[in-house]
Structure 1
Amino acid sequence: MSSATTSNPLLSYIGGAAVAGITLLSAIYSDRAVFDPKREGIKTQAGWPLVGNLPLLIQHKDKMHDFLLEGFSQMDDLTLTMSALGIPRHIATLDPRNVEHVLKNNFENYIKGPEFHASLVSLFGNGIFNANGEDWKYQRKTASHIFNVKNFRDHFTDVFVEEIEFMSSHIWDKAAENHQVVDFHDVMFKFTLDSFILLGFGVHLNALKSDGKVPFAAAFDEAQKTTFQRFVNPIWPITERLLSVVMPWKSSMNNHLNVVDSFAREVIEKRRVEIADGEVHRDLLSRFMDARNAQGELLNNDELRDIVLNFVIAGRDTTAQALSWTFYVLLCHPRVEEKLLDEINENITPEAMHDSPALFEAIKNMKYAHAVFYEVLRHYPSVPLNQKYALNDDIWPDGTQIRKGDYILWCPYAQGRSEKVWGADAKVFKPERWINEQGELRRESQGQWPAFHAGPRVCLGQHLATLEALVAIIFLLKRYKFSLVAGQNITYQVSLTLPMLEGMKVMVQKRE
């Protein structure tokens, strides 16, 4: 025989040993990633030999939240784990007791871990979403000064109403008159972007005046998508570089980041000039420009850039998506829409629509409107999947043993659809579940309904987001009758938040 293998016994031996080694490892790690130990006491979703669940994660990366929901349903448990080659051990839970324990009762033990920080640092730097410890505390304390009741009642409501009036006259009135199809999702993103950029940074972005995509918003969205995909792609540093070489005509992550960075730094530099000229501003950016970091130093442009971008996603994305999903479910549930419209007409007078304090007070008493909004967030949470990192060993309320270095997942999207969490009608859209027998709003535990997070990191802007959403819902429903264009694929896009994949096309008519 003349083959290279048979003429070289050493190569033949090495090849045979390699095959034997792989066979042995495949037998030992038949359902999980190689060298990943079994976790006793936690139901484990079986995977492939040596690579674990990595192929499934890649296969279902575009429907990740439903994949997780199906996993919990199949395993018939509220806590499970999976193993995937190249991805650290994750333990996922839908149990409200566990979620509240992680976010509130043992808050200090669970942080934004190395995987989370590495994936997000390109886009969000060390801003509030990606920060821990003292860096997080000073950002939260400074931002909290702007989120007070007086601002809600006065300036914030004024801005929302002003932007809605512009949106109505320039978009919805024209669409009704000309029988135009409009992407509701796109309009909501422009509305919340204009509103929050003005409130947070004193800048008139005028996205609602734009017929097409706003460059900053488009780049920001693409950067978010790429950021999320890093969580399920352990070799993303290689694949992102490879894609930029193979498809140079396609905008890369760096291209998107350059657009985003340019916007943020332009806002900051403009404000520095304005302050040097003696102008006084009370927006969020100005507060941070007067603040000091954890080392007692004034913030530099890099730190301010991170803050700008973190509060853009907080103020723009989540509310725009919540509004889009709200009108989607209203158009799918005419009974709910009619009942909500009755409450609006009963409580909101024409005078209140032009008097911010009166509007604010009227909205506070609209129980059904709040219930609709809470139910939307139960089904379509603006942050559908979240993660923490365990600093030390812990035992959860359900008995699950957590080890130092474990990554913790909870999925509000799957949680809101779980019959074990919400009962047999979990998948039914029913705002009435939020109103008790006395007709008052009921609030579930933060662990059961973590739509605005929970504990010390509970969303600072939850009341602002609720106010903005309800003002928009009231004005739009009172003035317009929307209808869905037939034949659409209304589903979510996997990202850090929960945008609609293909938008939502609507027709609109003015109400009598």
Structure 2
Amino acid sequence: MLPSISLNISNFHEYSNSILKQNGGTIIFEGPWLTNMKIVFTSNAMNVQHITSTKFENYGKGDDFKEIFEVLGDGIFRSDSHKWKYNRTLLHSVFKQVSFQTFIHKTFEAKVDSCLLVFLDHACKKGLQVDLQDVLQRLTFDNICSIVLGFDPICLSIDLPEIASEKAFNQLEDILLTRHIKPRFLWKLQKWLQIGDEKKFVENQKIIDHMVDTQIKCIRSRQSEIKSKINMQDKLQQFDLLTTIMNTEVEKKEQPNSIDDKFLRDTAINLLAAGRDTISSSLAWFFWLMATHPFVEAKILEEIKENLPSKESNWKELGKEGLSKLVYLHGALCETLRLYPPIPFEHKCAMKFDVLPSGHKIKSNTMIVYSLYSMGRVEEIWGEDCLEFKPERWISNKGGIIHVPSYKFIAFNAGPRSCLGKDISFTEMKMVVVAILLNYHIQLVEEHPIVPSLSVILHMKHGLKIMVKKRIV
């Protein structure tokens, strides 16, 4: 089966979707002899519910995932069992703090206002072609570094500087996907010989580790303040996520040995990856859909203006409460995530023998991949118009958001591993949309190709080339 995949690698998402559809939503992929490649590939919602919820304890990340995603260390996305539960509980306790939510909101709001809008205004005045995907990646990388590490690398500025750590993230993502496709012995041999993609992998990991380790040392230098807890309330506006985690553990006086530099490093890498790529990918596809569906853009703009305190109001005056009232915008974002989920595939491994609802028998240590990209295109879930972009499908007759079970709308995962940052993600995406749409009109560069990249993140292969026009109120 590997040759057919190789021939369709440039169109892998659509190819895999068509194969799944032809086979009732589940197939068993077998690689060449002696490669030990056997993967159950599914887009069946009942299978996904079974894996993520019903039999959650039987499906972990597994050895294959841990080998492929070694860069994540023992962080929340790579760990299982007790390590995962500890990571999840700790991060949940931080995320639910009102002070931390306020910090995130103000940090992102300031970044959008002082960097994103300034850059777009410059591009508008100069008549520049802009890769909006690159701009959004820079914005979210600056933001997540500020939130997690208390450090702004300033990737997004008028001259668009090349920042080594930001570039390293991009290259690592591409290599991580090739590790799924290449036979394991081949990429491991390349890693041992330090050649090809695996040499690049090590180089890029060193760049990211250096950035994170440097900031951890800065945070450690403040540890005396954390332990003494002197004037901590006065420092609320200066904290970052790693400092907050250490504060939380000091107050609980639990597992003091868990907060070592490796734990902080692994936590930081996981959160940097999550906070940068998911939001920037989602927003890039959203603005492309807006540019190709002007009637949807018009409705969103009308909704935003209706919820502003006055016609002269600044976009920031909506606040968190005003953003929560933008129902049609919320529906449009959900529809974007349905069709273009930032994580196109999820990877699990069976601990013990099991039988899926589809009837497929799963041996222990079998890799299972469920396709989020394909699940957004299943007619049985979304109807015959599943390929159409229709925000209305998310809005009830009473004007509220229709709830779709997470095992069907899988963009934020499902079951115990559901995304902790879901609400934060929606708030940040809405802030960017409101800020841009109120001030500018996005015009696509003609004949620029828009196709998904082959990566662990659903980026656009050639970026999103646009022209920025000042919106006339």
TM-score, length of structure 2 as denominator length: 0.90
Distance in 1 between the 2:87 and 2:316 partners? Answer: 34
Deviates most, 281-290 or 467-476: 281-290
Q: Retained in 1: the 8 A contact 2:116–2:139?
A: no
Corresponding residue for 2:240? 283
Match of 2:221 in 1: 273
Distance in 2 between residues matched to 1:491 and 1:340, nearest whole Å: 25
* 3-state DSSP of counterpart to 2:79: coil
CA distance in 1 between counterparts of 2:434 and 2:96 reads 22
SS in 1 for 2:218: helix
RMSD: 2.3
| Structure 2: distance between partners of 1:420 and 1:390 | 26
Deviations 1:81-131 (A, max 9, x none): 12112143211221211111111121101000111111111x111111110
Matched, 1:371 2:322: no
Q: Does structure 2 retain, via aligned residues, the 8 Å contact 1:387–1:410?
A: yes
Partner of 2:319: 359
**2:210 alignment partner in structure 1:** 262
Q: Give the whole-Å Cα distance in 1 for the aligned partners of 2:245 and 2:325.
A: 34
- Counterparts in 2 of 1:153 and 1:274: CA distance versus 1, 3 Å: closer
CA distance in 1, matches of 2:202, 2:145: 23
Displacement of 1:495: 1.6
- Between the aligned partners of 1:113 and 1:399, the Cα distance in structure 2 is 22
- Answer whether contact 1:289 1:298 (CA < 8 A) is retained: no
Query: Residue 266 of structure 2 is aligned with which of 306, 310, 321?
Result: 306
How much has 1:409 moved relative to structure 2?
1.3
Deviations 1:150-204 (A, max 9, x none): 2476322212211111124431111111111111011101111111211222112
Aligned to 2:41: 92
Whether the 8 Å CA contact 1:94–1:414 is kept in 2: the answer is yes
Contact (CA 8 Å) 1:142, 1:287: kept in 2 or not?
no
Deviation (angstroms), 1:465: 0.7
Counterpart for residue 190 of structure 2: 239
Counterpart of 2:404 in structure 1 is: 444
1:399 matched to which residue of 2?
359
Pick one of 163, 166, 183 that aligns with 2:111.
163
2:75 corresponds to: 127
1:493 matches 2:453: yes
* Cα deviation, residue 68, structure 1: 1.1
Identity of aligned residues (%): 28
Residue 337 (structure 1) aligned to one of 286, 297, 301: 297
Residue 95 of structure 2: which of 147, 150, 153 is its match? 147
Distance 2:155 2:131 in 1: 14
**Unaligned runs of at least 5 residues, structure 1:** 1-52
1:205 correspondence with 2:153: yes
Other-structure match for 2:122: 174
Correspondence list, 1:216-235, <5 A: 216-234=165-183, 235=186
1:230 counterpart SS class = helix
Superposition deviation, residue 217 in structure 1: 0.9
Deviation of 1:352 after TM superposition, in Å, equals 6.3
Corresponding position of 1:23:
none
Give the conservation status (yes or no) of the 8 Å contact 1:153–1:360: no
Cα offsets for 1:237-296 (capped at 9, x unmatched): 123556727x9xx97221111111111111111111133466856422113345499975
CA distance in 1, matches of 2:361, 2:380: 21
Residue of structure 1 aligned with 2:346, choices 372, 378, 386: 386
Q: Please say if 1:114 is aligned against 2:63.
A: yes
Aligned to 2:69, the other structure's residue is in SS state helix
Task: Supply the distance in 2 between the matched residues of 1:352 and 1:146 (Cα, whole angstroms).
Answer: 30
1:503 and 1:371 map into 2 onto residues whose CA distance is 24
Per-residue deviation, 1:55 = 2.1
1:27 match: none
What is the deviation of 1:400? 2.9
State the alpha-carbon separation in 1 of the partners of residues 194 and 149 from structure 2: 35
Give the stretch that moved more between structures: 389-398 or 212-221.
389-398
More deviation, 500-509/269-278: 269-278
Distance 1:397 1:324 in 2: 35
Question: What amino acid sits opposite 1:437 in the alignment?
Answer: N
CA 507–251 in structure 1, closer or farther in 2 if over 3 Å, else same: farther
SS at match of 1:207: coil
In the other structure, the counterpart of 2:468 is: 508
User: What SS does the corresponding residue of 2:387 show, helix, strand or coil?
Assistant: coil
Give the counterpart letter for 1:421 in structure 2.
Answer: I
In 2: Cα distance, 1:169 partner to 1:408 partner: 43
| Alpha-carbon distance in structure 1 between the residues aligned to 2:459 and 2:14 | 15
User: By how many angstroms is 1:139 displaced?
Assistant: 1.1
- Partners of 1:475 and 1:130 in 2: how far apart? 35
Distance 2:180 2:36 in 1: 8
Structure 2 unaligned segments of length 5 or more: list them.
227-231
Letter in 2 for 1:132: D
Structure of greater Rg: 1
Tell me, what secondary structure is at the counterpart of 1:208? coil
Decide whether aligned partners of structure 1 residues 105 and 333 sit closer, same or farther in structure 2, where only a CA change above 3 A counts: same
Scaled by the length of structure 1, what TM-score is found? 0.84
Query: What residue is the counterpart of 2:229 in the other structure?
Result: none
